[in-house]
Amino acid sequence: MNARFLELEITGACYHLCRHCYGSFPREGELDKYTVMQVIDEAGGYFDCIIFSGGEPFLHPDLIALTHHAQDFVVFITTTGDALGKEQLLDLPGNVVLVFGLDGIGEVHDYYRGKPGAYARLLKSLELTQDRPKEIIVTLWKGMLSQVDDIIALAEHYGALLHFNAVIPVGRARLNREILLSREENEMMHEKLETLRRERGAFLVTDLYKITEKDLGGIDLFCKGRYSITPTGDVRPCEFHPGVFGNIFETSLGHIIEQAKESDFIKARETGFKDQVRLDVQNPFNYHTEICHTFAL
Ligand code: SF4
């Protein structure tokens, strides 16, 4: 069984303006400490892992306290790594994995993130976290393709697991279509990453996935068992899907999840959309919007 992830977008605030951002952050909204603690209390039994994200979760005033409240889970914090303080890092408990967003080397990263100096500050945070478990997540966009080998070397240098993420064309990525890979580039990267994955084992992970005939029995979805909560409390199937199952300010998380599990959508998702998979999709690398999003909640 997949590890079951609950993603908590605890704040809409962010330092960056990433060109692919699924939620077009920064935006309004912040989940208060006591609401999040209650959600964490209810999450036991439904989830194995909690992701604190945003926006930039380190801009939430109670992030450290929340990580201590989530000690029964594997906790991930997805961060820009922009201006992390030594003290904040020292106060994090041992069950926390830091997940840094890196979208290129040097000015390529700064350009993509709309923030001059972001790369230099990210490197400082990577230095500060030499001894912590961590991941680097890289978006597969046009401008970074020639830098893949340098990015692998950087992740090795800092002892981070490396994760290459496909761009899902939602949020700000819909406005910045020039970042999207062509069909040929997707094919080339798919082949390259599959080879690297075989050579490097668990060090390198990718969710760039191509629909083929084998998926008629169900896609190997990374999102099975996953749910996401927005900074205004909406519970969604994941951070990319616009559908809403309920709101934690109106209904308990447990009740929302129990109802969601009875929905046709979640039943279908847990089978990898085996009855919805089509081979005639426009882009075989994008099952998210071409198959999943066409299925109403
Ligand atoms: S397949 Fe659907 S539910 Fe799963 S990550 Fe993609 S958009 Fe979200």
Question: With 0-12 CB in 10 A as exposed, 13-18 as middle and 19+ as buried, what is 283?
Answer: middle
Q: Find where tokens 């599990």 sit.
A: 261
Within 6 Å (CB) of ligand 1, which residues are found? 221, 223, 237-238, 240-241, 269, 288, 292
What is the per-residue pLDDT across 19-75, written as a single tens digit (0 to 9) for each? Answer: 999 999 999 999 999 999 999 999 999 999 999 999 999 999 999 999 999 999 999
What is the per-residue pLDDT across 65-119, written as a single tens digit (0 to 9) for each? Answer: 999 999 999 999 999 999 798 888 989 999 999 999 999 999 999 999 999 999 9
Residue ID of nearest Cα to ligand 1 atom 8? 238
Q: Whole-prediction pTM value?
A: 0.96
- Residue 260 C-alpha to ligand 1 middle, in angstroms? 15
What is the per-residue pLDDT across 153-205, written as a single tens digit (0 to 9) for each? Answer: 999 999 999 999 999 999 999 999 999 999 999 999 999 999 999 999 999 99
Q: What is the pLDDT of residue 83?
A: 75
pLDDT at 1 over 80: no
Asked if 162 contacts 138 with a C-beta cutoff of 8 angstroms, the reply is yes
Q: Are strands 134-140 and 96-101 parallel, antiparallel or unpaired?
A: parallel
Q: Which atom of ligand 1 is nearest to the CA of 289?
A: 7
Could you write out the three-class secondary structure of the chain?
CCCCEEEEECECCCCCCCCCCCCCCCCCCECCHHHHHHHHHHHECCECEEEEECCCHHHCCCHHHHHHHCCCCEEEEEECCCCCCHHHHHCCCCCEEEEEECCCCCHHHHHHHCCCCHHHHHHHHHHHCCCCCEEEEEEECHHHHHHHHHHHHHHHHHCCEEEEEECCCCHHHHCCHHHCCCHHHHHHHHHHHHHHHHHHHHHEEECCCCCCHHHHHCCCCCCCCCEEECCCCEEECCCCCCCCCEECCCCCHHHHHHHHHCCHHHHHHHCCCCCCCCCCCCCCCCHHHHCHHHCCC
Residue ID of nearest Cα to ligand 1 atom 7? 288
Residue ID of nearest Cα to ligand 1 atom 4? 223
